[in-house]
Structure 1
Amino acid sequence: MKLYSYPACGTCRKALAWLRDRAISVDPIDITRQPPTLEELGQALEQLGRKRLFNTSGQSYRALGSAAVQAMDDGQALAALAADGKLIKRPFLISDDGRILTGFKPEEWQEALLAP
């Protein structure tokens, strides 16, 4: 599994600790240095919709502006996300079966990663 995260993000650290406590191994990737690919972001868009992809509380999003993001078509939105990892809601996890999770909600992660 790949886990795109930001080392200074408290939510990302909580997610990593949660995974570690459950002996779930991930390949941690600094989202600011290596954002998810356009293909991965496209899969996330299909699975989650645009609203779950953007880090709306981050500086990059505020600098860009909500109106500008809403005015983008999907291709423009994906290109913006791929160009600036801080725009992406994190942590951004891609499971081995291709399921994508954004943000960290323990109950959602429990169901997606540990349910039979």
Structure 2
Amino acid sequence: MSGRQVTCYQYPTCGTCRSAVKQLKELGWEVDPVHIKETPPSVETLKEWIHQSGLEIKKWFNTSGEAYKEMQLKDKLPHMSDEEKIRLLASNGMLIKRPVVVGGKRVTVGYKPEHYQEVWGR
């Protein structure tokens, strides 16, 4: 045990999530998986993570997901306040781009191997 632990909010059948977890483990992290659909992060937690990530709220949406498309969010998001967007994300884990990896002050959304190397490889 390295004592280096991250929490990974993921969807277990998501291939991208599995690749992310595999890379995190290769980089020496112990991964605590959380099923994002069954246990979505709260509004307060999302506010903190969004701030820590430095990303715009719209980057947190899973734009290729069924829920996003069914709710026609492409057209609705531009007219919503930040608070409304965060509440929406907290209400349905499937709207959140995954995986979300949290460790200390670091937060990443989505998965790009080179970005993981940069953020989690140190």
Rounded to whole Å, the distance in 2 between the matches of 1:10 and 1:34 is 19
Deviation at 1:45, TM superposition (A): 2.7
* Contact 1:44–1:53 (8 Å) recurs in 2: no
Of stretches 54-63 and 104-113 in structure 1, the one that deviates more from structure 2 is 104-113
- Summarize the alignment of residues 67-106 of structure 1 with structure 2, pairs less than 5 Å apart: 67-96=75-104, 98-106=105-113
Identity score, percent: 38
- Summarize the alignment of residues 1-116 of structure 1 with structure 2, pairs less than 5 Å apart: 1-46=6-51, 47-65=54-72, 66-96=74-104, 98-115=105-122
* Contact 1:92–1:100 (8 Å) recurs in 2: yes
Q: Over the residues paired in the alignment, what is the CA RMSD in angstroms?
A: 1.2
In the alignment, structure 1 segments of 5+ residues that lack a partner are none
In the alignment, structure 2 segments of 5+ residues that lack a partner are 1-5
Normalised to the residue count of structure 1, the TM-score between the two structures is 0.91
Q: What CA deviation, in whole Å up to 9, does each residue of 1:12-55 have, x standing for no partner?
A: 01001111222211211000000112122112332211222000
The number of equivalent residue pairs is 114
Q: Report which of the two has the higher share of strand.
A: 2
Runs of 4+ residues over 2 Å off in structure 1: 43-46
Rounded to whole Å, the distance in 2 between the matches of 1:11 and 1:43 is 24
Normalised to the residue count of structure 2, the TM-score between the two structures is 0.87
